[in-house]
Structures are given as structure tokens and as C-alpha cells.
Structure 1
């Protein structure tokens, strides 16, 4: 992976950042990272803006542009949206609901294979994140100080379809709840489709 590709990945997974922080993460000089960011800006892949983060001079903050976002997988977004619209026109919302349910059942079969043999909730979450990451969601798990977990997905490869059909997001949350079992509570606390930087789920073992 080139430095430019690593920068794009970091901006996708971390959100807007300064060149100094990006340089520290990559183990490079701030000057070298700024040079790469300027080249990416010329190509229209990133954008920058000055932002005040405490006293002193404003800090130049870098973020992915819309064109940069499109560098990540979108699963043939236009085709998916067109098919959903045609399905709705032909068969109504009931037809869309049946399609989403069928997709959910298929995904559950694959996911249960990935989770087979998991020792505990944390192991299940790790396997679930790995399965989602392999499917393009840039997923990982974070452990919180209070003993809960955060399942975080930085990218949605079906964002265009999800924007057309909210049932897809509802279906995924329902799937996660079944996979983790009755003794686990999982709630979405941040949502890409609602303007969040990621889809974030809080996971707690019920007492």
C-alpha cells in the first residue's frame, strides 16, 4: 500500500485529521505527509479547511472529498438502486420486504459459519467484525472501560441501496441481535446513513 493509499484509508477510518497526527500514525515527517496530501488534493481526492482546536493559530484539517469516498467499494451502487426502484414499482413494499428478508437469511447462514466455535461474546464479536471487514465494511471491535464493546464499521459498501431502502439497515441490526444471542444487548449509537462518521454499535452482556 502506497503512502497516498494509506492516507486515504486513515482519513476514511479516522475521519478528518491534521497532517501532524497523520504523520505520527504513519511514522513519517509532517512535511512529507503534507506534500502527499497536496497531491491528493490536486487530484480531488481530499479537501482541507482551517479549524481552531484550542488557542493559537488554526490547524489545517484534511478529509476525504466525495470523489475520495468513491474510491472505496460501493457494490455497483447505481444498479442496486435501480433494481430496488423497479422492484418497488412492480411488487410494492411487500416485495422489497421479501427481498430484504431473503438477503438477511442468506447472510445469517454465512455469518453463523464464521462464528462457529466462538468461545464467548468477545470472541463472537471479533469473528463478526472479521466477517464484516472481509465484506467491505472496514469493521473492528473496541473494548470500553465499563466492560461493554463497540462494533465499529467505517464504510458501507451498500450505502446507495441503504439510502434507497432503510429496511437494509434495520435488517442488519436484527441479524446482529440474533447472532449474538438473547443474553446480549446491542444498539446502534451512530449511523452513517444519518450523517455519522461510522456505524457504531454498543454491545453489553445482560445481567
Structure 2
């Protein structure tokens, strides 16, 4: 079915719901030329709503993908964000910081178990990372991976739990622990970009060399 949504509005919505897109994909989706798509995306980039990066998705030349910036993401307010933060504050007041920490830990462990089950039997590191990217993208993280000479850069362009993470950074620590466990305890991983610190995205350097 032809997408009749105006390009600017439609492109932002598509990047939100489907993750990073190439100019060719955008052009096909909205029935415009690639140059027309480039012109519109550069306008959105100038407004601070989108950005582009090059990524390798298999063999061949790196592909330029467009994704939302934090400003672009803010156009989609999370209606549960305020409630989540408020509930955490109330829990802390009534039950103490320890109860909040236990909740975060338990939730992280539950998520980790889910991922490990979904990735069971996937031994190859690159495939494991790519499969995890697919899972996280479906969950709204707009994940992607870039392969280079040092290994991989695992990127999450959006954080659907951003409000809660800003309120309690322990959530980010639990997320990092989950990533480490899922990818492999013997695989060196380092956070190199961090939304909570003002970054546009969260990104992690994953070494191809095991400890």
C-alpha cells in the first residue's frame, strides 16, 4: 500500500517505529527520488531531528543509515515515563533505597534470562550480536551494530526507559550487566557513549578478542 503521509512527518514516524533507514528505503517508502529523500533528510538534520551514520550489514560497502536524534525522539513523549519515575520515588520513600535496588536487579535478571533463552545455541559472536540487535530493536531501542577492525560497536539510538534511567542510573548499570552476560562474560565490553550523560545514544565497544 502506498504511503501517502507527507515525507517529513512520515520519515520521523518511520524512524521511530522501524529504526534506522537508508535513503533508498525512505525514497521507496514515500515514492520520491533518492535525491529528493536526501534533500528532505538534510533539512530534518539541520533542524536537529535526525542524524546519519555508516554501518556494515554484511558484505559490500558501508551503508548510510538515518536515525532520530534525542530531539527527534522527544517528539514522541512516553506517557508512562512520569508514572514510572513517580512509582520509583514512592517506593523509595515507603520502602527505602534497598527495595528500589532489589526491583532493578530482579527486573534486570528477568530480562537477561529472556535474552539468553532467545539466543540459546547462537555461538558465533557476530551472529549473536546481530540477533541481539534485532531483539532490542523490536523492543524500541533502535539498535544497530557497526563492525570494524577492533570488533563491533553496539548502538542503541533510543532508550524507551530513558526517564527512569535518568532518575536512577542503577538501571543503566543493570542494562550494562545484561549486555555483558548476553554477549559473553569473556568478551571485553566498554561503554563509549551514554544518553544519561547527554549523549545522543548509548554505544558500546565490543572487542572481538576474548579475555
Q: Provide TM-score, normalisation by structure 1.
A: 0.72
The residue aligned with 2:83 is 79
C-alpha deviation, 1:182, in angstroms? 2.7
Q: Given the alignment, which residue of 141, 161, 165 partners 1:162?
A: 165
Aligned partners of 1:190 and 1:199 also within 8 Å: yes
**Whole-Å separation in 2 of the counterparts to 1:81 and 1:108:** 22
**Whole-Å separation in 1 of the counterparts to 2:196 and 2:147:** 24
C-alpha deviation, 1:183, in angstroms? 2.1
Q: Would you say 1:171 and 2:163 are equivalent positions?
A: no
The runs of at least 4 aligned residues of structure 1 exceeding 6 Å deviation read: 11-14, 22-25, 35-38
**Whole-Å separation in 2 of the counterparts to 1:31 and 1:9:** 17
Q: Would you say 1:122 and 2:126 are equivalent positions?
A: yes
**Whole-Å separation in 2 of the counterparts to 1:145 and 1:36:** 30
Q: Would you say 1:70 and 2:74 are equivalent positions?
A: yes
Aligned partners of 1:149 and 1:203 also within 8 Å: yes
Aligned partners of 2:26 and 2:37 also within 8 Å: no
**Whole-Å separation in 2 of the counterparts to 1:175 and 1:163:** 18
C-alpha deviation, 1:206, in angstroms? 2.2
Q: Given the alignment, which residue of 152, 176, 201 partners 1:149?
A: 152
The residue aligned with 1:135 is 139
Alignment CA distance shift 1:77-1:107 (3 Å): same
Alignment CA distance shift 1:142-1:34 (3 Å): closer
Number of positions where the alignment pairs a residue of Structure 1 with one of Structure 2: 180
SS in 2 for 1:197: coil
Q: Provide TM-score, normalisation by structure 2.
A: 0.71
The residue aligned with 2:51 is none
**Whole-Å separation in 1 of the counterparts to 2:181 and 2:80:** 28
RMSD: 3.4
**Whole-Å separation in 1 of the counterparts to 2:202 and 2:117:** 23
SS in 2 for 1:137: coil
